[in-house]
């Protein structure tokens, strides 16, 4: 007898339910910050379609990151957003999730 449980979803998410997600993140210009942002995406088995980072602020102390995912489930987009908000050092996360046209 297996200790694992098997849960069958009651409704399968249709292919058209895939979304594009864009996250604008602001945090410290710290050497490990960028890798901490990409980690939750990788743990969910996704590869970003874009990661662009630039040092902002007059003294370059802040990093602004544009991280994008394409063709992911709405649930994955939500999980990534929640994970980004919990990362140490994150000052702000703006998430935009839209269905492809």
Q: Residue 58's pLDDT band (boundaries 50, 70, 90)?
A: confident
Domain count, the chain: 1
Q: Write the DSSP symbol of residue 59.
A: T
Residues in the chain: 101
- CATH number where 52 lies: 3.30.70.260
pTM: 0.80
* Angle, in degrees to the nearest 10, between helices 74-86 and 33-43: 150
1 domain-assigned:
no
Spatial contact of 20 and 70, defined as CB atoms under 8 Å apart:
yes
Q: Tell me, what DSSP letter sits at residue 11?
A: S
- At 64-100, the pLDDT tens digits run 999 999 999 999 999 999 999 999 999 999 999 999 8
What is the span of the domain harbouring residue 83?
A: 17-98
* pLDDT tens profile 13-55: 455 589 999 999 999 999 899 999 999 999 999 999 999 999 9
């Amino acid at each position: 007898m297996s200790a694992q449980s098997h849960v069958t979803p009651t409704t399968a998410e249709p292919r058209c339910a895939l979304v594009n997600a864009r996250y604008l993140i602001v945090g410290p210009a710290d050497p490990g910050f960028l890798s901490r942002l990409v980690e939750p995406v990788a743990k969910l088995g996704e590869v970003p379609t874009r990661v662009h980072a630039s040092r902002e602020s007059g003294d370059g102390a802040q990093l602004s990151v544009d991280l994008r995912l394409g063709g992911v489930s709405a649930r994955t987009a939500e999980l990534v957003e929640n994970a980004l908000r919990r990362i140490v050092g994150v000052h702000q996360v703006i998430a935009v999730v839209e269905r492809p046209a």
